[in-house]
């Protein structure tokens, strides 16, 4: 059986409970970058073809979020460092990468070679750069309702990934705390969702390998990193009502902060252009 290709969050940088403001695609607020920030990315290896593909697919996120990416030719000053070691695909979440030394990778893209099909390469890059923006896994949505067959899940990941039960609980089985999480309906199309076979659930439910950002992925990341031209007033809501697409007061604070930064940058750019 071929290795089961799956991403894992870096254990030492995970938090036991995911903080508030999780919708279909969730982000850890404390790990988010400032709106409009330019991520400085450096490749620690990889062929020319693979690196070009990674650049192309990583920037798909910038079409929907007010985030820029600069691909550097030197490691000094880099924030995200991408390795291609055969040690699994993983990424440090958001700004946690700033806690690592410049000689350490903050992301690893295993299984990617010159012969890797584009759809598989794209899927991996989308997912890991989602983590780099602060996103967490969708299958741990507290209203996901996945009916896991726990013993089979433990056995599967032990055999295919070498994970112990604690690791499986943390990365797969344990949902985000309802009291600590802002959420809506489970998004089976999210790029941040693990794919898994039906044998791991008691009712035969399974998730295919999603290959592109879902419409909800795009919408939510745009709200978390709003573009100046798309900023609109947001009315606060008290908690979340069923089927209510509004944001919690905590999300409102986050959005207002992002909006303020975006507007300041837009004003600065406009002033600079006038002076020129």
Q: How confident is the model at residue 172 (pLDDT cuts 50, 70, 90)?
A: confident
The CATH code of the domain at 33-133 is 3.40.390.10
Beta-carbon-side half-sphere exposure of residue 144 (alpha carbons within 13 Å): 30
**Max CA pair span of the chain:** 66
The structure tokens listed for 246 are: 């509004």
Burial 31-44 (b: 16+ CB within 10 A, else e): bbbebbbebbbbbb
**What would the mean pLDDT of 162-186 be, rounded to a whole number?**
64
Distance CA 170, CA 247 (A): 27
Distance CA 48, CA 122 (A): 16
Beta-carbon-side half-sphere exposure of residue 188 (alpha carbons within 13 Å): 7
**pLDDT number for residue 213:** 94
**pLDDT number for residue 193:** 79
pLDDT (tens digit per residue) in 85-94: 988 888 998 9
Who's near 260: CB < 8 A, 6+ residues apart? none
Phi then psi dihedrals of residue 48, to 5 deg:
-60, -45
pTM: 0.70
Give the strand pairing for 38-44 and 89-91.
unpaired
Average pLDDT value for the chain: 74
Domain residue extents for the chain:
17-29+140-265, 33-133
Distance CA 16, CA 176 (A): 9
Terminus-to-terminus CA distance in the chain, angstroms?
Answer: 62
Q: How confident is the model at residue 138 (pLDDT cuts 50, 70, 90)?
A: low
% of residues, the chain, pLDDT over 70 = 63
**pLDDT number for residue 58:** 98
**How many residues in total does the chain contain?**
276
């Amino acid at each position: 059986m071929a290795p089961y290709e799956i991403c894992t969050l870096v254990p030492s940088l995970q938090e036991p409970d995911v903080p508030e403001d999780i919708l279909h695609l969730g982000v850890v607020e404390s790990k988010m970058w400032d709106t409009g920030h330019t991520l400085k990315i450096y490749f620690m290896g990889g062929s020319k073809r693979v690196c070009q593909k990674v650049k192309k697919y990583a920037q798909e996120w910038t079409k929907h979020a007010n985030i820029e990416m600069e691909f550097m030719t030197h490691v000094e000053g880099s924030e995200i460092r991408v390795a291609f070691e055969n040690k699994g695909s993983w990424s440090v979440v958001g700004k946690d990468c700033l806690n690592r030394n410049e000689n350490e990778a903050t992301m690893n893209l295993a299984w990617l070679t010159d012969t890797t099909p584009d759809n598989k390469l794209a899927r991996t890059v989308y997912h890991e750069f989602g983590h780099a923006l602060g996103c967490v896994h969708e299958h741990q949505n507290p209203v996901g309702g996945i009916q896991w067959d726990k013993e089979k899940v433990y056995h599967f990941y032990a055999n295919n990934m070498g994970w112990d039960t604690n690791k499986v609980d943390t990365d797969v089985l344990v949902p985000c705390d309802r009291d600590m999480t802002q959420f809506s309906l489970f998004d089976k199309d999210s790029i941040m969702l693990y794919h898994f076979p039906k044998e791991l659930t008691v009712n035969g439910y399974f998730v295919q390998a999603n290959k592109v950002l879902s419409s909800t992925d795009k919408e939510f990341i745009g709200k978390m990193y709003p573009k100046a031209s798309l900023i609109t007033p947001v009315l606060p809501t008290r908690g979340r009502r069923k089927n209510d697409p509004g944001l919690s007061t905590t999300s409102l604070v986050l959005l207002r902060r992002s909006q303020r930064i975006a507007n300041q940058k837009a004003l600065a750019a406009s002033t600079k252009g006038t002076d020129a």
